Chains A and B, each alone.
Chain A
């Protein structure tokens, strides 16, 4: 029997070094699933297509290799869109294959037909409809190339059912022909020299880095750069793990729920070095009052990120790793002791800010469990070595503040799109990527209900993910905004009617645990970490705890709320 399109897909994936597909079958992809069966390719069956794409995404974030998802046509693709958009917002390299109705049926409103390419155009880096089976292998090669180079991102390949069954001799091209897609990776020497000169003049420098450092595997270079300067360093939600969160030069995360010292340092610095970060509105706060005193250097591989919202004095287009290597080369043999002396008062100022309003909490033994206490315990017990995934909301921000990740690719969170329900499926993907790592999903009781079905995958695949639900029986972040900004008019945020999580874990065949008192937190975590299978832990935390600091949206980032207002 000769090869068909479906064999071409599997063989191409082998050529790309893909080891696993996260997917969900259906009518239009039956030939593809038949090939998975015949070739014995590893496939993990998600229970919802959104979950499949988040798994591929979590896989990619945890190991840096592209994740692969496979879904069928129509409703499967529309389900997958949330996952694709999540990866797009955070520039995560994934390749999604979708089934399509047979070529003659396209455009006829056939059963389970949707315009997959049209629907995903705004949320993919690029996408394809493969109309000729002879172009399938080349398209797949292009898709992986585009997904993983330049500013990474998701690519969709839509395969009509008949194309997947047309006979075709497999030939994987050696070359790709994309003469007009040439992302500029080499930073410009002249600009880099200018940047260093500007840094050397600084009295109040600040290094601000983002997910670009993780994506370009530049954490060692970043660390060497900031340690050489001994300059204060802050990071975005996506940059977590670029340097250890508790590193002496780290000011912690900045932005809407960033640290007091990081936000004030951003406000007061005179030279800002932005590295692989994009001045997101959650970072800048009110734009026209953002970091008003600084001259700005911006290193980014995507020219559209530069000067999109914030004026930059020294733009450098290039791969973060390449640019940092060049900076380090220029700094070789240079003495920075005078520079460090000059910035000593700046450090004193930063320390004073930290004393004024540190990231801290007080857990009284008889009071309800504080969410911060749970995260802090996790951090202490794992020494910051776990791979942590999160959902979206208060718990996510507490995790960012208190779990000081030590390494890149250990922090898996939906930063740009803010997708509730991301935590559990991305933890599944991360655990597949790193079978030996301790993977913890810090979940919200609201978010988790959006993708809880994927717990079955963890059980089925024997993936020992630990899901820690920060359960305040509220949609906590929305409740916090309603309290603070809408005069306590709480609407549609009460989640007291929710499943009994311990019983639910049991129903799925996972271990369910609960902690309702502070002294139960540590033993429950110990038990969870020691258990060889997946665990769901219901941490019954204080219902009313809020996440601070908080920069109310539209405010300049120096104007932070630090605690609940007195009533």
Chain B
């Protein structure tokens, strides 16, 4: 099963390699990884997605906790959270398909951030599924490149 995990780490030299090294050293997979500073500049936030059975995910979170530079680990597993990807999609459609590309972008609430004589760069945010869906749609219309952030995740606010 796919899991999205948030890890808050001390913003120290080499901390990312400790996290990534734990995964590779123990044979776990990272499907996507996102790292950036938080408002507190001594802390970075990592969102990573991984997969495995319950025992594997339990080990992954425990092993992450065990790293000295890790502050908190939150496996979003079954909890309520929002996850978003950002993607930049380069499309070079044949002339007759340019309108269709624009339509697709509009339906997906994506933005055209660059236009060339033969190309568009489209910026899209959304759940990882949504981005996959847009990519599938653009594939036959001249999709040249897709770069994406991987999931960013945040817990939903409490209902009370």
State whether A122 touches B68 (Cβ < 8 A).
no
* A129 and B18 alpha carbons, distance in the complex (Å): 14
List chain B residues, Cβ under 8 A from A497: none
- The reply to whether A118 and B59 contact each other, CB–CB distance below 8 Å, is no
Quick check: B68 and A146 within 8 Å, CB to CB? yes
Q: Taking chain B's interface residues, is the majority helix, strand, or loop, or is none over half, making it mixed?
A: helix
Distance in angstroms between the alpha carbons of A231 and B19 in the assembled complex? 43
- Contact B17–A121 (Cβ < 8 Å): yes
CA of A181 to CA of B25, assembled, Å: 22
B63: A residues at CB distance < 8 A: 304
Q: Is the CB of B58 within 8 A of A307?
A: yes
- Asked whether A181 and B17 contact (CB < 8 A) given A303-B62, A304-B59, A304-B62, the answer is no
Contacting B68 at CB < 8 Å: which of A117, A125, A304, A307? Answer: A125
In the complex, residue of chain A having the shortest beta-carbon distance to the beta carbon of B64: A304
**Does residue A302 face the partner (Cβ distance < 8 Å to B)?**
yes
CA distance A129 to B62 in the complex (A): 25
**Cross-interface CB contact of A180 among B10, B14, B21, cutoff 8 Å:** B10
Q: For B21, what are the chain A residues with a Cβ–Cβ distance below 8 Å?
A: 121-122
Q: How far is the CA of A397 from the CA of B22 in the complex (A)?
A: 32
When chains A and B are docked, how far (Å) is the Cα of A126 from the Cα of B58? Answer: 22
* Residue pair B68, A303 in contact (C-beta under 8 Å): no
Within 8 Å CB of B18, what residues of A? Answer: 121
Query: Which of A126, A131, A303: most chain B CB closer than 10 A?
Result: A303
User: Quick check: A303 and B65 within 8 Å, CB to CB?
Assistant: yes
Q: Is the CB of A304 within 8 A of B17?
A: no
CB distance from B44 to the nearest CB of A (A): 13
**Which chain B residue has the least Cβ–Cβ distance from A178?**
B68
Q: Is A308 an interface residue (CB 8 A)?
A: yes
Interface string of A298-333 (1 = CB under 8 A from B): 000011100110000000000000000000000000
How many pairs of A and B residues are in contact by the CB < 8 Å rule? 34
> Do the beta carbons of B68 and A181 come within 8 Å of each other?
yes
Q: Output the least CB separation between B110 and chain A (Å).
A: 39
Contact between chains at A304 and B66 (CB < 8 Å):
yes
- Interface residues of A, count at CB 8 A: 17
Could you tell me the distance between the alpha carbons of A377 and B153 in the complex, rounded to whole angstroms?
65
Nearest CB of A to B155, in Å: 19
Q: How far is the CB of B146 from chain A (nearest CB, A)?
A: 32
Q: Nearest Cβ in chain A — how far from B71, in angstroms?
A: 5
Whole-angstrom distance between the Cβ of A524 and the nearest chain B Cβ: 46
Say whether B41 faces chain A, with CB atoms less than 8 Å apart.
Answer: no
The residue of chain B having its C-beta at the shortest distance from the C-beta of A309 within the complex is B55
B89 contacts partner chain A, Cβ-Cβ < 8 Å: no
Which residue of B13, B14, B25, B72 contacts A122 across the interface (Cβ within 8 Å)? B25
The answer to whether the Cβ of B138 comes within 8 Å of any Cβ in the partner chain is no
Separation of A181 and B18 alpha carbons in the complex (Å): 15
Q: What is the CA–CA distance of A181 and B71 in the complex, to the nearest angstrom?
A: 8
B70 on the A face (CB < 8 A): yes
Question: Would you list 28 pairs from A and B whose C-beta atoms are within 8 A, ordered by A residue?
Answer: A117-B14, A118-B14, A118-B17, A121-B14, A121-B17, A121-B18, A121-B21, A122-B21, A122-B25, A125-B68, A129-B13, A129-B14, A131-B13, A178-B68, A180-B10, A180-B68, A180-B71, A180-B72, A181-B68, A303-B62, A303-B66, A304-B59, A304-B62, A304-B63, A307-B55, A307-B58, A307-B59, A308-B59
Q: A131-B13, A146-B68, A178-B68 known; 12 other A-B pairs, CB under 8 Å?
A: A118-B14, A121-B14, A121-B18, A122-B25, A129-B13, A180-B10, A180-B68, A180-B72, A304-B63, A304-B66, A307-B58, A308-B59
Residues of B within 8 A of A (CB): 10, 13-14, 17-18, 21, 25, 55, 58-59, 62-63, 65-66, 68, 70-72
